[in-house]
Structures are given as C-alpha cells and as structure tokens.
C-alpha cells in the first residue's frame, strides 16, 4: 500500500534538545495527523491539522500543514525522556481524517538520552 | 478523549484455528472503524474499513474470506482471522471514527504456531 515519506528515520538526542521531523507526499492531502506510538501499544493522536498553512500547538509540540498540501512537519521542544517512541504522520484526502482512510508515514524513531 | 479497547491484547493459537479480535468504542458511537496490521518496526497498513450495518471495504491484496469483519453495532467491530497460519502472526490494531478524528485501540498481538 501507499505510504508517506517521513524523515528522519530515527533520531538520537540529548534531553532538552529540540526535535523536528517531516512528512512529504507526491499528492495532495486535505488532512494531516501526527501520532505517537509506544512499543506494544496503539498510536495516540498528538495533533490534527485540517487547513493548509495551519500551525497548531499542543504543549511542547507544534505541527504545521504545508501550504502546498503535500507536506507537514512536527516539532518537539525541550525534549524529555518520555518523548521516546515512534512518531507517525498520517494523511487523508477528504476533509476530516476520519471520513476517509488514512495513509501513514514510515515513522520516525525518537530516542532521548537523559 | 475517546477510548477504544481491543480484546484480547495477546493471543497464541495453533495453525488452522480461527481467532476473533474485538474492537470497542467505549464512550462514543462509531459508524466507521478501521482495521490495520503492523509488522515489527514497520508502519501501519490499512486492511479494511468496517461500516456499521454494511459490508466491510477491503484494501487491495487483503483476502476478505481470510479476514472476516463484522460491525454489528455502533460500538463493536470484530475481525476474525480464519484458518490462521504462522504468516498471519502480527500486531493488529483497530481505530474508530469520532467526528473528525480516528482513535486507535491498544492493539492485539497474534502469534500462530
């Protein structure tokens, strides 16, 4: 199945550092979602973006819906050990990520050293 | 937030047997649920879209007779892996639609011996 290109594939950082990851597609999406998955668990929604150019924050997390509708990025500021996990972007081609199936990114593994 | 549960969380079965996995939306009604499969260190791959009161829509390459989906109520969808084989061993995750968002269950680890 189709997947979105997500980078970097993995990141190993020190506690307190800022993190940035992005997701790109060759086609347009109307919704971008960012999830975090801990080992052996299901993904947990972090941020949902529904409008091109939209910039949304959730605590130390900030995500933006690219103007071209073909990309999105997620920033984590002042990382802490519990930020460890795999981060996935997901896109949907209909308004609202729920009404149509999601296409997932390849994931970014984040490791934070105390 | 919306809560989605899955049962069982882990199951081990013998080759040739069938396994049923339940997905429940605990505090909201979901007319649409989704079933995903995830291999180790890989992303989620959509298997099928489960619609309450109608037939599920399967993704290309997913055998509908192998993976039976039933969405009999607004809070429950089931995935039955029929005549399971070792290659069916995987992490199966469901999600439920609530308004504009999909909420995921905790996943079910299936091991077929």
Put simply, whether B55 touches A (Cβ < 8 Å) is no
* Residue A97 to residue B93, Cβ atoms within 8 A: no
Paired tokens of A71: 């990309």
Q: Do A107 and B43 touch (CB under 8 A)?
A: yes
Instruction: Report pLDDT for B47.
Output: 94
Q: Are the C-beta atoms of residues A107 and A43 closer than 8 Å to each other?
A: no
Tokens of B83: 């005549």
Length of chain B: 113
A98 → closest Cβ in B93, B102, B107: B102
- B100 to chain A, any CB pair closer than 8 A? The answer is yes
- B4 and A42 within 8 Å at the Cβ level: the answer is yes
- Say if residues B5 and B96 touch (Cβ distance below 8 Å): no
pLDDT tens column, B58-106: 999 999 999 999 998 999 999 999 999 999 999 999 999 887 678 999 9
Average pLDDT for residues B20-48, to the nearest whole number?
93
DSSP conformation letters of chain A:
---BEEE-SEEEEETT--EEEEEE-SS--SEEEEEEE-TTS--EEEEEE-STT-EEEETTEEEEE-TTSSEEEEEE-S--GGG-EEEEEEEESSSSTTTS--EEB--EEEEEE-
Per-block mean pLDDT, blocks of 10 residues, chain A (114 long):
86 96 92 93 94 95 96 97 96 64 92 94
Q: Residue A97: what pLDDT?
A: 52
pLDDT at residue B37 above 90? yes
């Amino acid at each position: 199945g189709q997947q979105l290109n997500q980078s970097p594939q993995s990141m190993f950082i020190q506690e307190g550092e800022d993190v940035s990851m992005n997701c790109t597609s060759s086609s347009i999406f109307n919704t971008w979602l960012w999830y975090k998955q801990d080992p052996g668990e299901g993904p947990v929604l972090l941020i949902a973006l529904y409008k091109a150019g939209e910039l949304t924050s959730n605590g130390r997390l900030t995500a933006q819906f690219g103007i071209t509708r073909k990309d999105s990025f997620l920033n984590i500021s002042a990382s802490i050990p519990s930020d460890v996990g795999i981060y996935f972007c997901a896109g949907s081609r209909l308004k609202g990520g729920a009404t149509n199936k999601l296409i997932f990114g390849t994931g970014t593994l984040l490791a934070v050293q105390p | 937030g919306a809560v989605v549960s899955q049962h069982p969380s882990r199951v081990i079965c013998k080759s040739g047997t069938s396994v049923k996995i339940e997905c429940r939306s605990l505090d909201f009604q979901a007319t649409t649920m989704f079933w995903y499969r995830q291999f180790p260190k890989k992303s989620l791959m959509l298997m099928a879209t489960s619609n309450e009161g109608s037939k599920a829509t399967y993704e290309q390459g997913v055998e509908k007779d192998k993976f039976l989906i039933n969405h009999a109520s607004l809070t429950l969808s089931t995935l039955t892996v029929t005549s399971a084989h070792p290659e069916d061993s995987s992490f199966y995750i469901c999600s439920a639609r609530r308004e504009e968002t999909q909420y995921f269950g905790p996943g079910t680890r299936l091991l077929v011996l």
